[in-house]
Structure 1
Amino acid sequence: MLLEVALNGNRDHPATPRTPAQIAAEARSAIEAGAQLLHFHPYDAPGRETFDADDCARAIRAVRASCPGIPISLSTSATIEGDPEKRFRQIAAWDEMPDLVTANQGEDGIIELCELLLSRGVGIEAGLLSTEDARLFVASGLAPRCRRVLIESLETDPADALRDAETMERIIVEAGIRLEQVHHGEGVASWAVNRRAVTRGHGIRTGLEDTPVLPDGRQARDNAELIAAAAAIIAQASQGA
């Protein structure tokens, strides 16, 4: 069962890593706590998320040196660059490629961006942030070329998040898409989504990008503490199987 860590995003938390050295250190700690796949957003020198080729390369190299052999996933989110043409040009300039990217299926220009990255040997984690994203993904025909699908509820109420995740999963399964699924959510609701996913045999994701709090609502110390909590959920489910 895959356990993925999302190390940073734009989370305002004391342990959110931004420099290559910080990202590499948090990545190492998360792997030691049980993570199997590393997702992160590179930052530029002033502290902004970026697609700049040099900044991305520095972050990737630092993490690969710290965590050799562990797959790396970068973001392609429109929240980092909202102009789809500019985003495409920036990512086309990458010369140090990640193993994977997350690609949110509801964003303008995402199919063209996926085609570019696939042509360069980069795997696609298809991000579904809503039921509409799930329907768009089904209609796109991209699924056979993707590595996995991310069920990513943005609802912050646990009950709403569970309904959202269930609906997105149903849309994907009823379309005959058999891709590996990784589920996660936002804030404390992410833990409800994680628990449901584990009982259904799906992978899960956690980390400071997704939630700053532990299952009991306490602020997490860092990514490693979040991963340890997620690993415990997986272990408990395995013991009960």
Structure 2
Amino acid sequence: MLQVCLNGARRPFEGVPVTAARLAAQAAAAVAASAHGIHVHPRADGGAETLDGDLHRLVLAAIREAAPGVPVGVSTHEAIEPEPVARLAAVRRWPGPADGGPDHASVNWHEDGAVEVAQALHENGIGIEAGLFTPLAAAALAESRWPQRVLRVLVEAIPGTTPGAEGLWAAERIIAALGPVPCPLLVHGEEQWTWPVLRWAQRQGHDTRIGLEDTLLDEHGLRVTDNASLVTQALAGGATT
């Protein structure tokens, strides 16, 4: 499975899609290029990330109309709403998938209030992607009851955040700390680790992702402005299912 990550926390001046119309168009193009899932960070006016349920519904409706039948997920990362109580309250107000809410949402397991956010998503029928940036977070997830309840685990190798000077080593350490789990692993890197980690994950048979959230450069180091070209290159160079 290859997921496309459309925009992430990048700012509008970096050329990522922000409006519902642009997100829908890029989602459709990425799916036409054979992406199997979509990850998006909805934005408020001015381009700031938001947890607002009504705006989520609007963005997700546009994407689903453009790319029907493809699962669409969002983020709950703490920079959107740093205060844990307010973040949890916002997520609790989200509609479930049947009412226009996300099919799944990522929860960064090292963040304050992560378990409470995951519980709120679970109660609302929204799938959980457990995001692991570090071996410590992986160990905490492995020791909990949550591996049996999440849709997938995200092994996320992020330069400057994940321990290690090299992406493959960093991803391997997270996976080693996690141990065997009864759910799929989606393994990806960001920035200079994006392409090496993606190719390694493909060789290992893991799910992975690509998109402007993770990198603004193609595998040859050239600047790109659309997600579909990244999806095309990722699939052309590796084996995904």
Q: Give me the whole-angstrom Cα distance separating, in 1, the residues matched to 2:157 and 2:51.
A: 24
Q: Structure 1 residue aligned with 2:174, among 148, 168, 174?
A: 168
SS of 2:191's equivalent in the other structure is: coil
Aligned length: 234
C-alpha deviation, 1:106, in angstroms: 0.4
C-alpha deviation, 1:161, in angstroms: 1.1
TM value normalised by structure 2: 0.92
Q: Is the 8 A contact 2:60 2:102 kept in 1?
A: yes
Partner in structure 1 of residue 9 of structure 2: 10
Q: Is the 8 A contact 1:37 1:71 kept in 2?
A: yes
1:215 aligns with 2:214: no
Map 1:97-112 → 2, pairs under 5 A: 97-112=101-116
Partner in structure 1 of residue 38 of structure 2: 38
**Which amino acid in structure 1 is aligned with residue 78 of structure 2?**
A
Q: Give me the whole-angstrom Cα distance separating, in 1, the residues matched to 2:58 and 2:218.
A: 30
Map 1:27-66 → 2, pairs under 5 A: 27-66=27-66
Q: For residues 226 and 100 of structure 1, do their structure 2 counterparts lie closer, same or farther at Cα, with a shift above 3 Å needed?
A: same
C-alpha deviation, 1:139, in angstroms: 2.0
Q: Is the 8 A contact 2:135 2:178 kept in 1?
A: no
C-alpha deviation, 1:45, in angstroms: 1.3
Q: Is the 8 A contact 2:16 2:225 kept in 1?
A: no
Deviations 1:4-27 (A, max 9, x none): 011001224654111111110110
Q: Is the 8 A contact 1:5 1:37 kept in 2?
A: yes
Structure 1: stretches of 5+ with no match in the other structure: none
Runs of 4+ off more than 4 Å = 156-159
Structure 2: stretches of 5+ with no match in the other structure: none
Q: Give me the whole-angstrom Cα distance separating, in 2, the residues matched to 1:94 and 1:125.
A: 16
Partner in structure 2 of residue 203 of structure 1: 207
SS of 1:34's equivalent in the other structure is: coil
TM value normalised by structure 1: 0.92
Root mean square deviation of aligned Cα: 1.8
What is the percent sequence identity of the aligned residues? 36
Q: Give me the whole-angstrom Cα distance separating, in 2, the residues matched to 1:118 and 1:144.
A: 12
Map 1:148-163 → 2, pairs under 5 A: 148-155=152-159, 160-163=166-169
C-alpha deviation, 1:155, in angstroms: 1.9
Q: Is the 8 A contact 1:75 1:102 kept in 2?
A: yes
